[in-house]
Amino acid sequence: MRLITSVSEMKALTREARSHGKSIGLVPTMGALHKGHLSLIRQAKQQCDVIVASVFVNPTQFGPGEDYERYPRNIDKDFNLLSSYNIDAVFAPSAEEMYPEGFQTFVEPGPLGKIYEGASRPGHFRGVATIVVKLFNIVQPDMAYFGQKDFQQTVVIRRLVEDLNMSVRLVLCTIVRDEDGLAISSRNAYLKPAQRKSALSLSRSLRRAVELAHSGQADARKILDEMRRVLRTESRVKIDYLAIVDPVSLEKASQVTAGMIALVAARVDRVRLIDNAILGPAGKSPEELLQMALSAPAVTTTEARIPGIAAEAVVHKIESCRDCAAISTILLPPREFMGAYIKRDYPDLNSVQTAVIGRNATARPDNSFYRTSGRPNRFVTALYELVGVADFEEFRKRFILTDIIRCHTSAPKVPDKAMHNCLRHLRNELSLFPNLETLAVLGEDAYLGVQRFLLERDLDSIQPFSQFVEPNSWAEEQVEISFLNNRAVRIFYCHHPTLGYQRSPSLASALVK
């Protein structure tokens, strides 16, 4: 392993490597190496022929009053640590080598570099972008390795690489933590035992965010409030910023979806620390979550509400439900239901205005409405005519189709117990759609389920269905529904399009009022 301190020698080594057709991996560091850095080295060795680790405390990314002078430096220790990994070179230039007299060209990273870390540390990402471009030009790596802990830095560099048409590929590796949960950082060396104990509140706040996301909480404000509460239990900790952001644009999120990032920066007395966590489905590995964040598309509009963790929680609860196992006429498990297709068919939950509520799931899953994308059959054709749409594409722009129960029943009437058991799933499904204003209830079973269990009306007060829908073969009422935040909702009751012998006229004109 060679210790290289000059730009010219570093360029000579990489030219030689390329002349032999070898791939080059770069691990940029500021020294004070720890297990996080070493995880990047291990990843690089798995993928590249020649490995270069840079050790350079970059003065241009430190602002006035920051810790440039006291930042940990021990090149001998770092060199000995890296030698055990048998890498090819350590590039450890001086500040004068990287920024010679007369240097005056800097890289401005744009808006991504002016928020969060950029706002707290003005000029920081200008220095980061400049040194990264210099390192990429000097080493000419095929791949460069960075850690998730500095997530915003990686987003800035990713944008830089794309904007400047650089050929290097970026590899982001998951956060490495100590046994107590603290994200490993060179600045942890500043912490005294009592301060380290307080610093653990950062990782605790992120774990709390993950727990809430797994429980189905999708309101970013509520998650941030809970993170803030955890951090404030430690008097030494002063919050710099908290945010839940889109992983591509870094825009603040109002609703949490899988792959979004919870960011935290705080000072423990004088020591400034950062940490983050990727919010995603339970059971995913850190690597899977990281891939989810890196592959997430940018949110196209700030108003759109895409299906996220709350929707995934609803689907999981339905799929795992066995509440009706003791009812012999119920065919378990739930297999075909709207929620299973919500990500595919409803990219913006705000668009749905009407929920059509049928009887039960089909006995033959291959014929289900969503699996076939609304392929016409006797029921589907009658449904489209009832609500006034031409096809599935038009239907899913404004409507969802769900059922009073999510399993199939072989009984002539849906058992009351099954409707009662499935009520929570119906409520959870309907709650996903913030602009839902209308329910269209199909047939007697769905009517009784909505009246008794959704609206919680006494059985004695419920009229017989045939009487309720006369004389027009459909009826309408407006109610405030508590689990929809007391939203006023219009409910239309009509005959089922294919069960029985009576039919209702089209509701199309009524639904658009």
Residues labelled as active-site residues: 37
The strand pair at 89-91 and 2-4 is best described as: parallel
| 28 upstream amide cis, omega within 30 of 0 | no
Q: Which helix (DSSP H) or strand (DSSP E) does residue 480 occupy?
A: strand 474-481
With 0-12 CB in 10 A as exposed, 13-18 as middle and 19+ as buried, what is 456? Answer: exposed
CA dihedral (344, 350, 351, 355) in degrees, to 10, reads 90
Q: Which residues contact 65 (CB under 8 A, 6 or more apart)?
A: none
Report which of 333, 454, 344, 469 is spatially closest to residue 400, judged by C-alpha positions: 344
Report which of 432, 453, 448 is spatially closest to residue 493, judged by C-alpha positions: 448
The sheet carrying 271-279 orders its strands as 237-245, 260-268, 271-279
**Cα dihedral sign, 188-107-249-222:** positive
Report which of 385, 374, 303 is spatially closest to residue 344, judged by C-alpha positions: 374
Q: Which helix (DSSP H) or strand (DSSP E) does residue 84 occupy?
A: none
C-alpha distance from residue 242 to each of 155, 223, 273 (Å): 17, 10, 12
Report which of 108, 6, 98, 12 is spatially closest to residue 57, judged by C-alpha positions: 98
C-alpha distance from residue 147 to each of 54, 185, 229, 357, 385 (Å): 15, 11, 27, 48, 55
Which residues share a beta bridge with 170? 144
Report which of 239, 187, 163, 232 is spatially closest to residue 57, judged by C-alpha positions: 187
Place of tokens 């955890």: 230
Place of tokens 């401005």: 108
d(C-alpha 225, C-alpha 229), whole Å: 6
- E-only strand ranges, 92-168: 143-147
**Amino acid symbol at 511:** L
